[in-house]
Chain A
Amino acid sequence: MNEERNVKIRVRNLSKVFGSQPKKALELRDQGLKRPEILDKTGQTLGLSNIDFDVHEGELLVIMGLSGSGKSTLIRCLNRLIEPTEGEIVIDGEDIPTLGEKALLECRRRHFSMVFQNFALFPHRTVQKNAEFGLEIRGIDPAERSEIARTALKQVGLDGWEDAYPSQLSGGMQQRVGLARALANDASVLLMDEAFSALDPLIRGDMQQELLQLQSRMQKTTVFITHDLDEALTIGDRIVLLKDGEIVQIGTPEEILTKPADDYVRRFIEGVDKARILTAESAMRRVRSTVRDSDGPRTALRKMREHGLDSIYIIDRDQQLIGLIEAEAASQALEQGKERVTDVMTQDFRRVTLEEPMHHLFAMFSEHSFPIAVVDDQQRLLGVVVKGAVLDQLAQAAEPTQIAEPSTTTTAGDA
């Protein structure tokens, strides 16, 4: 996760003022005034101020903030649905704010697909025609675009619904159409503006999982806007935290949770901080399968395949954990004719007890990708903790902080 990736979009010094005298507002900003004072003095709203961040090739970057934080403005500045007041937005060497009208259209077609909070499907077009929209705009010929759109609809699980109209679909299905429209377009960046916020929680969870699956398959550069910490933690490779039009912190979910940049972030993740009283036990899952020390690599491979695992823990007769074998090592062992899994097992994984505090588990995941083994004091394997489960637990603990309260009290207190 931490390896250097190519920068897809570079945003520097981006600001947006809503109002007729942006220059004046920016001058005051440079004198150190904040949004409320600038509004008082000039009647101009400082929507975004000095935003710097990069979007890496293939990552899912979440921009998160409460309402009024400027996140919707920010995502719209990227494709200039809102004109930025100043700053650079460079995508593949093109500085978007300087593009002429024609070049901008071309840039939108090539680089950006967008999914909207309220779906924004065309009610007069069928599901199929909605999915084709971006291609149609680009002038792709009908047979080809129909084929591409069909494939995209299949990807989001909507095959068979091609001829339905959006009004005949549920909210979740409508947003799948929105997603298919974006995927069919095959632009280099996917912009998702609170894409799942209008869906009910169960459907939202499903869509998040599906997005993650799509993401692991397609590695599409994605900028995802949300006000929901749970969502940000679940899907984000990195999170940009916005407050009052400024960036408070940029980091991986772990970094945000473990090293909050300031009090605001700390308060924001207060609920998540309950993680400190959560332990490995709450995130632990039953071990799906293990191998015995007497088993051969062939058995290990078969079990991994059966259960869809990349590695498997080895236990002895007394259920004691003695090692771990990876799929790769097992197949090598098989080729080399080694008979016992213990010949190629590794000790390079972490074992913890049930009482291990949850926030320690984060650090471990950044060192190892294997599931963490949970053992009792006799070193018997009780279960494993996988990364997703930790985040799930933390996100659930974070639920109360989704309410906007912490921030409103902050602003009231500041003012």
Chain B
Amino acid sequence: MAIEIPRIPLGGWIEGALTWLTSEYSMVTRAISRATQTGINGLNDALMWLPPWALLLIIVAICWKVANARLAIGGAAGLALIWNLGLWNPMIETLTLVVIATLVAVVIAIPVGITAALSERLYRTIMPVLDFMQTMPAFVYLIPAIPFFGIGSVSAIFATVIFSMPPAIRFTTLGIRQVPKELIEAADAYGATRGQKLVKVQLPLSLPTVMAGINQTIMLALSMVVIAAMIGADGLGSEVWRAIQRLRPGDGFEAGIAVVILAMLLDRLTQALSKERKS
């Protein structure tokens, strides 16, 4: 006798919830959408307004200042190659998305990370959520993004923020929890309030770790905004996407190499920044 176990309609529930959310909160999503789009356009226009050589020089100068001559030279060569391949504008679009997504992610992640470090209960609640956010295939976030924010860059930002936020939260929590107990005890012994402890001891001492988390977030954001080309995000990702659709491996690799150059530049730059803070 076979017992028929009915299939649990998990997908149906999720869809129901999403539909409800989109219709109930369309005011909110539309407002977010408009604000985000304004931010993207503003930053994009500003970066595009500068002639490529000027922006290139600025970036190289920053590399020189926070890191070393090697990064400056490497960065100059890499950016010049991107310019030469005619990928300058897509690169700027990608950079814009990464910068905005990272900003939003960090603005959310740091307070959450701090609270999780200080409250055992929130810590235990949030860790499985972070595991979920990180292990869920990145593409899946793209799907609900569309009903919320429509096709385009705002959806890309939404999916990217969710995907790239976990390391910033984790590292912030870790950084604060790693502050030696003796130092917390010393601060307590001198009568520091929670706020004083946080500002004068815990945050400064966790800064290098927090910076490492932000670095991770930037890297994840870059990978996600490239994937987000599938839902209509502009930038290097859409170049790759187009190359796939037209079966032009050459174009695809060119855009891919541009992504690698951008990734390395952002990575080295943020690492140099966090090292500078440490010393």
Tell me which residues across on chain B come within 8 A of A191, comparing CB atoms: 189
Say yes or no for A5: interface residue by CB 8 A criterion. Answer: no
Query: Which residues of chain B have C-beta atoms less than 8 A from A137's C-beta?
Result: 187, 190-192, 196, 200
Segment among B178-186, B218-226, B254-262 that sits at the interface with chain A? B178-186
- Whole-angstrom CA separation of A116 from B185 in the bound complex: 9
Q: Would B182 and A138 count as touching, CB distance under 8 A?
A: no
B187 cross-chain contacts in A, Cβ below 8 A:
133, 137
A118 to B: closest C-beta gap in Å: 6
For chain B, residues 168 to 199, give those with C-beta under 8 angstroms from any C-beta of chain A. 180, 182-183, 185-193, 196
A118 near B190: Cβ-Cβ < 8 Å: no
Q: By the criterion CB–CB under 8 Å, are A122 and B183 in contact?
A: yes
A122-B201, A123-B205, A124-B205 known; A116-B182 Cβ under 8 A: yes
Give the residues in chain A near B193, CB-CB below 8 Å. Answer: 105
111-126 of chain A: CB within 8 A of chain B: 112-114, 116, 118, 120, 122-124
B222 CB, nearest partner CB in chain A, Å: 30
A122 to B144, CA, bound (A): 47
Task: Mark contacts of B154-174 with chain A using CB atoms, 8 A cut-off: 1 yes-contact digit, 0 otherwise.
Answer: 000000000000000000000
Complex: how many Å from CA A116 to CA B191? 15
Find chain A residues with CB under 8 A from B192 CB.
105, 137
Q: Could you give, for residues 165-208 of chain A, a 1 whenever the CB lies within 8 Å of some chain B CB and a 0 otherwise?
A: 00000000000000000000100000100000000000000000
Q: Which residues from B are CB-within-8-Å of A113? A: 189-190
Q: A94 on the interface (CB 8 Å rule)? A: no
Docked pose: A109 CA to B191 CA in angstroms: 5
Closest Cβ of chain A: how far from B186's Cβ, in Å? 4
Residues of A within 8 Å of B185, CB to CB, are 81, 116, 120
Chain B interface size band reads: 10 to 19
Q: Bound state CA distance, A124 and B209, in angstroms?
A: 14
CB within 8 Å for A114 and B191 given contacts A124-B204, A136-B200: no
Expressed in whole angstroms, the Cα–Cα distance for A113 and B188 within the complex equals 11
- CB-nearest residue of chain A relative to B181? A120
Residue contact A108 to B205, C-beta cutoff 8 Å: no
Q: Which residues of A contact B186 (CB under 8 A)?
A: 114, 116, 120, 122, 133
Q: Which of B189, B200, B201 has the most A CB atoms < 10 Å from its CB?
A: B189
Q: How far is the CA of A106 from the CA of B182 in the complex (A)?
A: 21
Residues of chain A lying within 8 A (CB to CB) of residue B180: 120
Known: A124-B205, A136-B200, A137-B196. A114 touches B190 (CB 8 A): yes
The closest CB in chain B to the CB of A111 belongs to B191
Given A114-B186, A116-B186, A118-B182, A138 contacting B191 (CB threshold 8 A): yes
> A134 near B: Cβ within 8 Å?
yes
CB distance from B232 to the nearest CB of A (A): 45
Give B138 Cβ to nearest chain A Cβ, in Å.
Answer: 36
Q: Are B183 and A133 in contact (CB under 8 A)?
A: no
Contact pick for A133, options B182, B190, B205, CB 8 Å: B190
A79 on interface, CB distance cutoff 8 Å: yes
Contacting pair A112 B200 (CB below 8 A): no
Task: Indicate whether A106 sits within 8 Å of B190 (C-beta atoms), given known contacts A81-B185, A122-B183.
Answer: no
A120 touches B191 (CB 8 A): no
Tell whether, in the assembled complex, residue A120 and residue B182 are in contact, meaning their CB atoms are under 8 Å apart: yes
Give the residue among A107, A108, A113 with the most B Cβ atoms within 10 A: A108
**Chain A residues with CB under 8 A of B204:** 124
- Output the nearest chain B residue to A82 by Cβ-Cβ distance: B185
> What sequence of 0s and 1s flags, for each residue 91-109 of chain A, a beta carbon within 8 Å of any chain B beta carbon?
0000000000000011111
Which residues of the other chain, A, contact B201 by a CB distance below 8 angstroms? 122
Bound Cα distance from A133 to B183, whole angstroms: 12
Distance in Å from the Cβ of A185 to the closest Cβ of chain B? 7
Q: How far is the CB of A99 from chain B (nearest CB, A)?
A: 12
Whether A81 touches B189, Cβ cut-off 8 Å, given contacts A120-B182, A124-B205, is: yes
Of A109, A120, A136, most B-chain CB atoms within 10 Å:
A120
A residues less than 8 Å from B182 (CB atoms): 116, 118, 120
Contacts of A79 in B (CB 8 A): 189
Question: Smallest CB-CB separation from B204: which chain A residue?
Answer: A124
Q: Which B residues touch A120, using CB under 8 A? A: 180, 182-183, 185-186
Decide if B183 touches A105 in the complex (CB within 8 Å): no
In the complex the two chains form, is A109's CB within 8 Å of B183's CB?
no
Closest to A139 in B: B196
Are B200 and A108 in touch, CB under 8 angstroms?
no
Residues of B within 8 A of A133 (CB): 186-187, 190, 200
Residues of A125-170 contacting chain B, CB below 8 A: 133-134, 136-138
- Given known A-B contacts A120-B182, A120-B185, A109 and B205 have beta carbons under 8 A apart: no
Using CB atoms, name the residue of chain B closest to A134. B190
- Residue of B183, B188, B190, B196 near A185 (CB, 8 A) is B190
A-B contact pairs, 16 of them (CB 8 A): A81-B189, A105-B192, A108-B188, A108-B189, A109-B190, A109-B191, A114-B186, A116-B182, A116-B186, A120-B180, A120-B183, A120-B185, A122-B183, A133-B190, A134-B190, A134-B191
| A contact set with B: CB distance below 8 Å | 79, 81, 105-109, 112-114, 116, 118, 120, 122-124, 133-134, 136-138, 185, 191
Q: Can you list the 9 inter-chain pairs with the closest CB atoms, starting with the nearest?
A: A109-B191, A108-B191, A120-B186, A114-B189, A120-B182, A134-B190, A105-B191, A124-B204, A137-B192
With A133-B190, A138-B191 known, 14 other A-B pairs at CB within 8 A are: A105-B191, A105-B192, A106-B191, A113-B189, A120-B180, A122-B183, A124-B204, A124-B205, A134-B190, A137-B187, A137-B190, A137-B196, A185-B190, A191-B189
